[in-house]
């Protein structure tokens, strides 16, 4: 019985092995074609072609900027693709004005701690937003996309202390009014062409004693500098003045008071007589929370206000642009972007990484686009790039690689010139003006 059982076991094992082997061969033959096709596709080489304009079309003359370059509507953040509008960083420093005996403002250690905290809180407010009470119903709440960064010089920390009996005070009214006077700025400002200088001053004692003088917290923007006063005297925590700082910097960035005609359809004219909302008239209907009004909140900014700020940042002739940290000079691989949908940039862009247009994606460029050093624009098979009167360059004068089209199995990315466009700062070293034409399939 043992031998018989062993014999049957041997026969059954061989049968199973043979059957399995045959089944595998039949399955392999059936799908051999599919496997071969997949291998062919996977191993099919990708050919990359650099986009070069036709001979005789290079004049190097940039296209005339379109009106869209300055339209605030073209600088509103896209909440689905915030990477299209990178965060901008405004360089700032602080000047603490005091009298010669150090009795009328924070001492250095106190000032550094106080205004450092104020800057942190102001940035936290910039990182958030809220619905503007006086905007039309349905107006979106969008991110602001800018922040402050302390900008020290070699050997210091960005805080400067001046003990000057003739310039430490701020007078906003009366015969000795000096709030518009720039003497203190001309004497003490550091790097005002590239840094927002913030001067922390005080109201003089005799003005404070006057019953008609308003010794409250106030400020004034003067070019790329601003004066603030009343903070030391109020003896309040720094968060109480973060709205004031953002308001005054808002003026430097080109925003007007929101209670008057300010060029924005999503802010409205109003009397600006309500410091806060109350359940009783008139402040139950006329209160405001906009950063550019006078109110206790100064928190909300509208899409138009954000667009106007960002348009100013992108304007190469705007003095404020020079106060930004130029994060667009060199490539940051973490900022590479991939275009999968149909995208049109009507306004200028200062990018920080490569652009890759994937199959099915389309990108139309107008106005001006700055590509970081060492970066490239790649159009993959099935992707499309439209050059619509755009100037593509590196805003720091460094070299980027250019535009490349990929081809695989006869399918190529396409570059289409709708209006004359210019490529600068990329090989072969001469600006290329592109006339209306089409490249790729």
pLDDT at 32: 57
Average pLDDT for 25-47: 58
Residue 405, pLDDT > 80, answer yes
Residue 144, pLDDT > 70, answer yes
* pLDDT > 70: percent of the chain: 84
Q: Cα(391)–Cα(393) distance, rounded to whole angstroms?
A: 6
Average pLDDT for 71-84: 97
On the CB side of 229, CA atoms within 13 Å amount to 25
Residue 129, pLDDT > 80, answer yes
H or E segment at 360?
none
Residue 19, pLDDT > 70, answer no
Per-residue pLDDT reduced to its tens digit, 308-327: 999 999 999 999 999 999 99
Average pLDDT for 88-114: 97
Q: Which domains does the chain have, with CATH numbers?
A: 47-67+328-439 (no CATH), 87-314 (3.40.390.10)
Residues 314, 348: contact at Cβ < 8 Å?
A: yes
Average pLDDT for 261-273: 95
Q: Cα(247)–Cα(252) distance, rounded to whole angstroms?
A: 9
Per-residue pLDDT reduced to its tens digit, 193-231: 999 999 999 999 999 999 899 999 999 999 999 999 999
Q: Which residue has the higher pLDDT, 143 or 1?
A: 143
Q: How confident is the model at residue 17 (pLDDT cuts 50, 70, 90)?
A: very low
Q: Cα(391)–Cα(425) distance, rounded to whole angstroms?
A: 11
pLDDT at 370: 98
Average pLDDT for 158-166: 98
pLDDT at 11: 37
Per-residue pLDDT reduced to its tens digit, 47-76: 999 998 654 344 466 666 667 799 999 999
Please spell the DSSP secondary structure of 223-253, one letter per residue.
TTEEEEESHHHHT--GGGGHHHHHHHHHHHT
Say what the alpha-carbon torsion angle 353, 354, 357, 358 is, to the nearest 10 degrees: -90
Residues 142, 303: contact at Cβ < 8 Å?
A: yes
Average pLDDT for 86-98: 98
Q: Cα(375)–Cα(331) distance, rounded to whole angstroms?
A: 6
Average pLDDT for 174-201: 97
Burial class (CB within 10 angstroms; exposed 0-12, middle 13-18, buried 19+) of 20: exposed
Q: How confident is the model at residue 8 (pLDDT cuts 50, 70, 90)?
A: very low
Please spell the DSSP secondary structure of 61-127, one letter per residue.
PPPPPPGGGG-GGGGS--TT-GGGS--EEEEEEEEEEE-TTS-SS--HHHHHHHHHHHHHHHHHHHT
Q: Cα(423)–Cα(368) distance, rounded to whole angstroms?
A: 10
pLDDT at 30: 57
Spatial CA neighbour of 287 closest among 315, 306, 265, 259: 259
Average pLDDT for 78-96: 98
On the CB side of 17, CA atoms within 13 Å amount to 6
pLDDT at 435: 54
Q: Cα(231)–Cα(198) distance, rounded to whole angstroms?
A: 13
pLDDT at 373: 98
pLDDT at 431: 58
Average pLDDT for 370-387: 98
Neighbouring residues of 386: CB distance < 8 A, sequence distance ≥ 6: 362, 363, 364, 365, 416, 418
Q: Residue 345: left (phi > 0), alpha (psi -120 to 50), or beta? A: beta
């Amino acid at each position: 019985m043992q031998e018989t059982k062993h014999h049957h076991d041997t026969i059954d094992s061989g049968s199973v092995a043979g059957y399995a082997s045959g089944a595998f061969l039949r399955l392999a033959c059936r799908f051999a074609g599919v496997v071969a096709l997949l291998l062919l596709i996977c191993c099919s080489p990708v050919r990359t072609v650099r986009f070069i304009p036709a001979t005789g079309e290079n004049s190097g003359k940039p296209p005339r900027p379109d009106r869209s370059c300055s339209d605030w509507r073209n600088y509103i953040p896209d909440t689905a693709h915030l990477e299209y509008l990178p965060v901008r960083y405004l360089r700032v420093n602080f000047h603490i004005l005091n009298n010669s005996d150090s009795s009328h403002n924070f001492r250095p250690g106190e000032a550094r701690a106080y205004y450092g905290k104020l800057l942190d809180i102001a940035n936290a407010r910039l990182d958030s937003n809220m619905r503007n009470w006086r905007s039309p119903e349905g107006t979106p709440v969008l991110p602001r996309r800018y922040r402050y960064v302390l900008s020290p010089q070699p050997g210091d920390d960005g805080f400067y202390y001046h003990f000057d009996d003739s310039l430490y005070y701020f007078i906003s009214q009366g015969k000795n009014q000096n709030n518009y006077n720039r003497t203190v700025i001309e004497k003490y400002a550091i790097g005002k062409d590239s840094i927002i200088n913030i001067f922390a001053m005080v109201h003089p004692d005799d003005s404070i004693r006057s019953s008609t003088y308003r010794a409250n917290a106030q400020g004034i923007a003067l070019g790329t500098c601003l004066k603030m006063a009343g903070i030391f005297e109020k003896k309040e925590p720094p968060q109480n003045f973060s709205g004031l700082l953002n308001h005054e910097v808002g003026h430097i960035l080109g925003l007007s008071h929101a209670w008057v005609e300010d060029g924005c359809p999503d802010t409205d004219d109003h009397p600006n007589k309500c410091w806060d909302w109350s359940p009783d008239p008139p402040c139950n209907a006329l209160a405001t929370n906009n950063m550019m009004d006078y109110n206790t909140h100064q928190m909300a900014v509208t899409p138009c206000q954000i667009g106007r700020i960002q348009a100013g940042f992108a304007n190469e002739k705007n003095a404020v642009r020079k106060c930004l940290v130029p994060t667009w000079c060199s490539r940051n691989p973490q900022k590479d972007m991939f275009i999968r949908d149909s995208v049109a940039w009507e306004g200028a862009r200062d990018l920080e990484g490569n652009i890759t247009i994937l199959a099915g994606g389309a990108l139309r460029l107008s106005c001006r686009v700055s590509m970081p050093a060492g970066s490239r624009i790649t159009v993959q098979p099935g992707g499309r790039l439209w050059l619509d009167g755009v100037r593509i360059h590196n805003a720091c004068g460094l070299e980027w690689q250019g535009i490349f089209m990929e081809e695989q199995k006869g399918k190529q990315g396409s570059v289409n010139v709708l209006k004359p466009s210019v490529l600068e700062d990329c090989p072969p070293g001469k600006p290329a003006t592109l006339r209306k034409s089409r490249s790729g399939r």
